[in-house]
């Protein structure tokens, strides 16, 4: 029998099921990619480097930019039109894999997929873990989704706040939940001087710059861009050279532009539109402070800013408590309070606090939330359940 045939018929360590990873960019997608990097870092060093896992991707297509095609993970791209056909294909492909290859553990990457995974895994006696992130599990779930969580071997989530919201809303035992946090690439996000070309592009010369990276969708007003705009008049009374750089796109932009004009700060708000991930680090370096009084499950953007040595402000009742280390690394304020945002921004721009020291901020961030730390955390979780 050929080596490839032996690999196909042998049992697997793990199976992963996700909605999508490569078809769009977002916080969840970035997080999942970091998990795959950590997973490959663990298994590429093991003596047996044969295929360790299969990954089923419901909404991704063949030919997408996938850097994880190393031979350790076999990827199945299942997007079809109409969508129901892809779901049917997922069901039969996953069942075939579970029956023929008998993985030691299955990782379900979204609550929407959990009922299917629960049904198949319980029927075949295969343990499974459900990965959760934020708002999708903060409220009471439909019974079929909640039962999939109850019956899981474990649940992984990204922050203490998401764990607490999940367990309280759905009657889940907290001891079932483990935290695997978001991380930042400390080699990509680094401090540097303000890039002159961006200063010129956005008209930010001689300005103190606040910055936010967020989707400007009408359904995402919790990101707090409007709150920061409302805070600008008071901030401008202390720092007349203040500017606010908003990175992101969406249907809420016209409302935000009108708000800025109505408050007399239209000339202080710069809407940069969409900026690709690879260009974000240069934009962070433009900022004197990263401001997002939001309600996040975690908030990778806070890590990115702090890794660049930029002080940060977040909301005070969400998952940002973890990256900001309960306020030790940044300012946490009531997330819909413009006066609190203004007062904190003025304090940040004065620059007298330890939390404004860029190198210290970077060191403290990477000590807990680097990709290298994630590898160790993932190994500990896999070892805890006897699957590494």
173 and 40 in one domain? yes
Instruction: Please give the full DSSP string across 124-150, using - where no structure is assigned.
Output: HT--EEEE--SGGGSSPPPHHHHHHHH
Identify how many contiguous H helices and E strands the chain contains and give both numbers: 14, 13
Please tell me the predicted confidence (pLDDT) of residue 277.
Answer: 87
The range of the structural domain enclosing residue 290 comes to 196-369
Please tell me the predicted confidence (pLDDT) of residue 268.
Answer: 98
Domain count for the chain, please give it. Answer: 2
Q: Is 172 helix (H, G, I), strand (E, B) or coil?
A: coil
Tell me how far the alpha carbon of residue 153 is from its chain's centroid: 23
63 and 200 in one domain? no
144 and 200 in one domain? no
Inside any domain, residue 189: no
224 and 121 in one domain? no
165 and 273 in one domain? no
Q: Residue 283: which of 260, 314, 308, 264 has the closest Cα?
A: 308
Q: Is 206 helix (H, G, I), strand (E, B) or coil?
A: coil
Inside any domain, residue 191: no
Inside any domain, residue 48: yes
How far, in Å, CA of 250 to CA of 156, rounded? 30
135 and 281 in one domain? no
Reading phi first (left if > 0) and then psi (alpha if -120 to 50, else beta), residue 176 is in alpha
254 and 361 in one domain? yes
Q: Is 374 helix (H, G, I), strand (E, B) or coil?
A: helix
Q: What predicted TM-score, i.e. pTM, was given to this entire model?
A: 0.93
383: exposed, middle or buried (Cβ count in 10 Å: 0-12, 13-18, 19+): exposed
Inside any domain, residue 156: yes
Cβ partners under 8 Å of residue 34, min gap 6: 182, 183, 371, 374
Inside any domain, residue 126: yes
298 and 227 in one domain? yes
How far, in Å, CA of 321 to CA of 378, rounded? 21
How far, in Å, CA of 146 to CA of 139, rounded? 11
Please tell me the predicted confidence (pLDDT) of residue 328.
Answer: 98
Q: What are phi and psi of 315, to 5 degrees?
A: -70, 165
Inside any domain, residue 66: yes
- β-sheet bridge partners, residue 333: 315
173 and 231 in one domain? no
- Please calculate the CA angle 197-25-275 and round it to the nearest 5 degrees: 15
Please tell me the predicted confidence (pLDDT) of residue 312.
Answer: 98
Cβ partners under 8 Å of residue 355, min gap 6: 311, 328, 329, 330, 331, 348, 361
Q: Is 259:291 a contact under the CB 8 Å cutoff?
A: no
Q: Is 126:108 a contact under the CB 8 Å cutoff?
A: no
- Return the DSSP state at 316: S
- Residue carrying the six token digits 């997080």: 31
CATH number at residue 85: 3.40.50.2000
How far, in Å, CA of 363 to CA of 127, rounded? 38
Cβ partners under 8 Å of residue 248, min gap 6: 212, 213, 214, 215, 216, 225, 272, 273, 274
| Pairing mode of beta strands 208-213, 177-179 | unpaired
Inside any domain, residue 188: no
216 and 84 in one domain? no
Residue 243, CB-side half-sphere exposure with 13 Å CA sphere: 20
How far, in Å, CA of 210 to CA of 270, rounded? 10
Q: Is 360:354 a contact under the CB 8 Å cutoff?
A: yes
Q: What is the pLDDT along the chain (388 residues), one digit of tens a residue?
A: 333 333 445 678 999 999 999 998 888 999 999 999 999 999 887 766 567 899 999 999 998 889 999 889 999 999 998 989 999 999 999 999 999 999 999 999 999 999 999 999 999 999 999 999 999 999 999 999 999 999 999 999 999 999 999 999 999 999 999 999 999 999 999 999 999 999 999 999 999 999 999 999 998 889 999 999 999 999 999 999 999 999 999 999 999 999 999 999 999 999 999 999 899 999 999 999 999 999 999 999 999 999 999 999 999 999 999 999 999 999 999 989 999 999 999 999 999 999 999 999 999 999 999 999 999 999 999 999 888 8
Please tell me the predicted confidence (pLDDT) of residue 118.
Answer: 98
Inside any domain, residue 39: yes
219 and 284 in one domain? yes
154 and 33 in one domain? yes
Structure tokens at 364: 């403290």
């Amino acid at each position: 029998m050929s080596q490839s045939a032996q690999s196909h018929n042998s049992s697997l360590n793990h199976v992963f099921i996700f909605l999508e990873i490569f078809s769009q960019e977002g916080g969840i997608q970035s997080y999942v990619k970091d998990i795959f990097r950590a997973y490959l870092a663990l298994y590429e060093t093991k003596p047996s480097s044969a295929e360790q896992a299969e990954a089923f991707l419901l909404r991704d297509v063949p030919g997408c930019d996938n850097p994880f095609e190393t031979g350790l993970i076999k990827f199945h791209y299942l997007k079809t039109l109409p969508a129901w056909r892809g779901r049917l294909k997922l069901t039969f492909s996953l069942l075939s894999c579970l029956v023929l290859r008998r993985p030691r553990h299955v990782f379900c990457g979204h609550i929407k997929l959990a009922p299917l995974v629960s049904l198949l895994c319980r029927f075949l006696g295969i343990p499974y873990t459900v990965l959760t992130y934020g708002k999708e599990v903060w409220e009471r779930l439909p019974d079929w989704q909640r039962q999939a969580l109850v019956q899981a071997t474990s649940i992984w989530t990204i922050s203490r706040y998401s764990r607490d919201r999940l367990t309280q809303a759905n009657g889940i035992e907290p001891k079932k939940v483990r935290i695997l946090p978001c991380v930042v690439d400390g080699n990509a996000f680094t401090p540097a001087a303000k890039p002159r070309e961006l200063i010129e592009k956005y008209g930010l010369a001689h300005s103190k710059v606040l910055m936010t990276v967020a989707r400007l969708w009408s359904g995402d007003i919790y990101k707090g861009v409007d709150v920061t705009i409302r805070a600008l008049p008071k901030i401008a009374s202390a720092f007349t050279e203040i500017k606010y750089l908003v990175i992101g796109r969406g249907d809420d932009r016209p409302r935000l532009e009108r708000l800025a004009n109505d408050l007399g700060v239209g000339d202080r708000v710069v809407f940069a539109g969409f900026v690709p991930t690879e260009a974000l680090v240069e934009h962070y370096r433009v900022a004197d402070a990263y401001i997002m009084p939001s309600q996040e499950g975690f908030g990778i953007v806070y890590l990115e800013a702090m890794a660049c040595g930029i002080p940060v402000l977040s909301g005070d009742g969400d998952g940002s408590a973890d990256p900001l280390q309960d306020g030790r690394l940044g300012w946490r304020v009531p997330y819909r309070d413009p006066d609190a945002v203004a007062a904190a921004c003025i304090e940040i721009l004065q620059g007298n606090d330890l939390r404004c020291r860029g190198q210290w901020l970077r060191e403290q961030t990477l000590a807990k939330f680097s990709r290298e730390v994630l590898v160790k955390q993932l190994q500990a979780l896999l070892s805890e359940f006897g699957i590494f």
